[in-house]
Structure 1
């Protein structure tokens, strides 16, 4: 779908959503297909902990939350969500629906227990909903304990000067007088600026995400943690950098 078609589909979706309690049969079919299309390549982690398959959950979402056909819904309650202006907004609404389903399943135990460990998985996902750190990391198959462990391994693989550069920018002495220059002077770090660039704690003004991906920290995030260096993963990247900084402090304690 090109940009013009995508814009037209978004406009149509917004219009139909605003009139969703008064749609003709053909318009219902249209909004159904538009929502399905927006969710086609979207696989949030909550899907793994629910017994229904994705197609069934999408159908439930459209029936209950988009078209508002469940008993008890009235026109006065039909506008509790703003009309989505893009497929990304539809994905956000769908994930909110899945989180509600997950909480309900966790509270009522209306989840199949045939698969070994599914109960524990539901508890893990339900907990993650209320834990921002866990929620972000879980999208990449990670948890805080594992990231911290891998961070300690990464720090242990750096030479003493790189560890000091990391500490001077992200870690235990990052707030020290004189910043990185100050710690380089105090610890006699040779070529400290070059080391900082190679490590990834200092970037040139003209640098792009591809440049950061080629640094030691960038390669660790991408190759070891499995998080692609992109704007879409900014929250996860900032989070793992904060955990790396915390482990830098611990390693020098």
Structure 2
């Protein structure tokens, strides 16, 4: 099984600021800037393999290129039609994944692709019906695939947070929440509150992982077990977008 990596800061990508800036200017980028946004988007989609890919004749690289060409840079848009920003700037990788999946679903819905799709492909018809109306919010779009929404997930995150003992709550706040930017990081908070073996407890909680950690390792942490047992999210690489969303929502409660 491929390693499932988790960016620092509950899924906030290191390149988020650059991507946001380029995204806001995406219809008037220089050639070098186009190359940069292309690289950032490809990196975000590198480990993402939604089921819709199996139903389309093009390979993933070609579909990513088409997505960037038509939906991101809008190079095939009618120049006489006023620009409508249908996709807000993504703040991390999972939003890019949600936008890409929406593009794939639109491809499946088009007459050109429908003629080439076997009705026996598992889940394709159901997916098309489920997404008959395009979901504007990438967060809700991803959560909806797992029978969740942001409100219920926030409630569950809050209940999980308060189910932890005081030491774990402090470690969570220091790692993902209001104290995550404190000088000295987790160690400084652990020293301030005299938390023994804080690094061990942080790994048991799931806010820090070894570089060699696998999805199974994360599934055995308190956060991973909560996602699996309470939210019904299987801890596998393919579910990375929704896992990052839930981490972000948990971080919001830790901030509060």
TM class by shorter chain equals: 0.5 to 0.7
Deviation at 1:223, TM superposition (A): 1.1
Counterpart mapping for 1:1-253 below 5 A: 84-85=58-59, 95-97=105-107, 126=133, 128=135, 130-250=136-256
Higher RCO (C-alpha under 8 Å, 6+ residues apart): 2
Structure 2 residue runs of 5 or longer lacking an equivalent are 1-50, 64-99, 112-128
* Structure 2 CA distance for partners of 1:99 and 1:134, relative to 1, 3 Å: farther
Structure 1 residue runs of 5 or longer lacking an equivalent are 1-41, 44-57, 59-65, 67-82, 102-120
Of structures 1 and 2, the larger Rg is shown by 1
* Structure 2 CA distance for partners of 1:158 and 1:208, relative to 1, 3 Å: same
- Counting helix residues as a fraction of each chain, which structure ranks higher? 1
Q: May I ask how many residue pairs the two structures share in their alignment?
A: 153
TM-score by length of 1: 0.53
**Residue aligned with 2:59, SS:** coil
Deviation at 1:243, TM superposition (A): 0.3
**Cα distance in structure 2, aligned partners of 1:146 and 1:181:** 33
* Structure 2 CA distance for partners of 1:187 and 1:127, relative to 1, 3 Å: farther
Cα deviation digits, residues 1-52 of structure 1 (max 9, x gap)? xxxxxxxxxxxxxxxxxxxxxxxxxxxxxxxxxxxxxxxxx58xxxxxxxxx
Deviation at 1:235, TM superposition (A): 0.8
* Structure 2 CA distance for partners of 1:196 and 1:127, relative to 1, 3 Å: same
Cα deviation digits, residues 38-74 of structure 1 (max 9, x gap)? xxxx58xxxxxxxxxxxxxx9xxxxxxx9xxxxxxxx
Q: CA RMSD in A?
A: 3.4
* Ranges of 4+ aligned residues in structure 1 off by more than 2 Å: 91-94, 97-101, 124-128
* Structure 2 CA distance for partners of 1:98 and 1:183, relative to 1, 3 Å: same
TM-score by length of 2: 0.52
* Structure 2 CA distance for partners of 1:179 and 1:125, relative to 1, 3 Å: farther
Deviation at 1:191, TM superposition (A): 1.4
**Cα distance in structure 1, aligned partners of 2:189 and 2:243:** 25
